[in-house]
Structure 1
Amino acid sequence: MNQKSNGAHIKKFIVDVLNGTSLGIVITLIPSALVSQLLLLFTGTPVATKIGFMTTLIQSTLPIVAGFSVGQIFKLSAIDSGSIALAMFVSSGVVTQTKTGMLISGTGVILNILLIATLATALVKTTTNIFGHLKMLLQPLFVLLVAGGIGLITLGPLRQVQTLIGEAVAYATDLTPLLLGALLGGIFAFLIVSPLSSVGIAMAINLTGVGSGAANAGIVVASFTLAAMGSRVNPIGATLAHFIGSPKIQMANMLTKPKLFIPTTIGAMIMGMVATILDIKGTPFSAGFGFSGLIGPLTAYSISDKSLTAIISVLLTFIILPIAISFTLKWIFMTKFKLIHSEDLKLTLS
């Protein structure tokens, strides 16, 4: 009984860390996703420039917001949550030292952010009463030096892991078109809900053309499928966040319930092939976004010949077929065979 209890406690601890990190990712990335394409219509205007600056800058606060979100889910104090956030920020890879100062860019290495979120939270929970009245002075420094220090050591190797995975994905681009489309659709549908950066990998391997379109299509149908399957137990805002923002909001559920990858992978491989047949294209930047911020569909349209056929193809790839496939998969897996239940996709939002 003791072992079972310990196992359940450890599992809940990991799930809470994943949920907090996922929440931080969504909070910091959704604002940019919502306005990025709209701002292109007002390029050069002072207001658009300021809004672009704000929404871009907050993406680099991902490790800080994720740290506080983890603390919120664990119901920790402000000092505890702040200590976790500091350790995650310094070891995330968001800040790079230069000869003239420090450069802040990107969202960091998610694998390392997750690792340090776990370590820092464990440290906080085990030392919460050790420092007594000096907690405010000593705990932030202690967690920063121990967890943050370890994070700086693991940052390089875990960044390399992401690079190696990107190189492995790149091999798929040498396959025949339909097989390429199916594999890239399935791979990127997995990446978008994993601790890895789909955008980072797409940029690293310079994924362009129909390969980028297939990757995008896979992400889109995975997003719609997860939204449809969890719509009964999640509020409307969270449901929309799957495809308007990022399906990475489901990372904790996906990693703890691997069966959820079955319908998303099937749908993504189908849409990857369809996108290839319809000659949907993209850029390395758009490949990892899917429907988020309309980056995928607008990029596909902008580099097409803008004919009526191209418009229909974009609508089929990014809206009509993903919705149809998502509800079909929902019926098959939830109604027909009852392999997946709505509660499997319930989100922890506080």
Structure 2
Amino acid sequence: MAQSDRKRVKKFIVDVLNGTSLGIVITLIPSALVSQFLLLFPTSVVAFKVGFMTTLVQSALPIVSGFAVGQIRKMSAIDSGAIALAMFVSSGVVIQSQKSMVISGTGVILNIILVAILATGLAQLTQVTFGHLKILIQPLFLVLVAGGIGLFTLSPLRQVQVWIGTGVAYATDFTPIIMGALLGAAFAFLIVSPLSSVGIATAIGLTGVGSGAANAGIVVASFTLAAMGASVNPLGGTLAHFIGSPKIQMANMLTKPKLFLPTTIGAAIMGAIATMFDIKGTAFSAGFGFSGLIGPLTAYNLSNKTVGAVIAILVTFIIFPIAIAVILRWIFIVKLRWIQPEDLRLTLQ
């Protein structure tokens, strides 16, 4: 393959990953911003409706990601819509029974990315093939071909996620400090990968100090990525790393594996510290980190609510992660120069 062809293929894959990342951030941030706040109004009709809306939009992840991929690739509205439909029908968001269809969750992200690549490639190959009948044929073509392939790959890729979850679960067999370091590092990797950190935490029933360590790892990874890219990214993009999800960096992380080094080091350190501080969590909170304050608030609710517990939570979720992020940024960007801020530039529009 010629160098120019390799560059085109790389750009294509990066565009798909960036579009998927953008869809993830757009659909998950609304719930992350308000979910914990809404718990203060358990009987409010307005709070219930807001919760319904922000929860529902999470299931639109494959659709929004499809449109985002199309926009980044500068494709037409018909092509973007067709890509979105193919990704939606094969995402695993919809569970079908004999009498109904239930929309739930965000789908299997591995499969969503695979179908995004297939559907986008097919859309570009057939941009002018159908002529004036494009609006009629293109959506059906992509849904049947790319979406159909996605339905066949959905179950195997979901099983891959289960296998990875089983592997992560082995970390709980070690002594507490080592367990905390391993889980912190593992979930720092998962949160920026095409895998669902929440799905894996739920699948293996990760609770207690194991969940707290996983949360702490995600938090320090979020702050580290935000700090290292702050000089080249807008304020909103920087804040989105920890207020939303560090998965916004998925394309950069997968194409520049060296970025995993500082996040893994920081997450392992913070996971061990969280275990020493007896920070706890639930299977649901384990994959969120700082997003929506789900991690710290869950840790507080499961603590004895003493002044010492509050200080430990502040240290684990704010003070130490920021300090570690600043130190790692100095080591890898300023001192060693192994990483450049440009490596973390967000290309999302």
TM range (shorter): over 0.9
Mapped to 2, the partners of 1:196 and 1:96 lie a distance apart of 20
Matched residue of 1:111: which SS?
Answer: helix
Instruction: Name the structure 1 match of 2:84.
Output: 85
Instruction: Name the structure 2 match of 1:277.
Output: 276
Matched residue of 1:52: which SS?
Answer: helix
Letter in 1 for 2:87: M
Mapped to 1, the partners of 2:347 and 2:91 lie a distance apart of 23
Deviations 1:49-89 (A, max 9, x none): 00000000000000000000000000100000000000000
1:185-264, aligned counterparts within 5 Å? 185-264=184-263
Q: Tell me the matched-pair count.
A: 349
Matched residue of 1:41: which SS?
Answer: coil
Instruction: Name the structure 2 match of 1:268.
Output: 267
Instruction: Name the structure 2 match of 1:315.
Output: 314
Matched residue of 2:95: which SS?
Answer: strand
Instruction: Name the structure 2 match of 1:141.
Output: 140
How far does residue 348 in structure 1 lie from its aligned partner after superposition?
A: 1.2
1:168 paired with 2:175, answer no
Mapped to 1, the partners of 2:106 and 2:336 lie a distance apart of 39
1:10-159, aligned counterparts within 5 Å? 10-159=9-158
Normalising by structure 2, report the TM-score. Answer: 0.99
Mapped to 1, the partners of 2:310 and 2:46 lie a distance apart of 31
How far does residue 173 in structure 1 lie from its aligned partner after superposition?
A: 0.5
1:341 paired with 2:333, answer no
Mapped to 1, the partners of 2:295 and 2:344 lie a distance apart of 25
- Structure 1 moving runs of 4+ over 6 Å: none
Letter in 1 for 2:269: I
Mapped to 1, the partners of 2:139 and 2:20 lie a distance apart of 19
How far does residue 3 in structure 1 lie from its aligned partner after superposition?
A: 1.1
> RMSD between aligned alpha carbons?
0.6
The percentage of aligned residue pairs carrying the same residue is: 74
Deviations 1:104-152 (A, max 9, x none): 0000000000000000000000000100010000011111100000000
Letter in 2 for 1:217: A
How far does residue 259 in structure 1 lie from its aligned partner after superposition?
A: 0.3
Letter in 2 for 1:206: G
Letter in 2 for 1:307: T
How far does residue 349 in structure 1 lie from its aligned partner after superposition?
A: 1.7
Normalising by structure 1, report the TM-score. Answer: 0.99
Mapped to 2, the partners of 1:12 and 1:254 lie a distance apart of 14
Structure 2's unaligned 5+ residue stretches are: none
Mapped to 1, the partners of 2:207 and 2:138 lie a distance apart of 47
Mapped to 1, the partners of 2:219 and 2:79 lie a distance apart of 37
Instruction: Name the structure 1 match of 2:300.
Output: 301
Instruction: Name the structure 1 match of 2:323.
Output: 324
Letter in 1 for 2:62: P
Letter in 1 for 2:303: S
Matched residue of 2:286: which SS?
Answer: coil
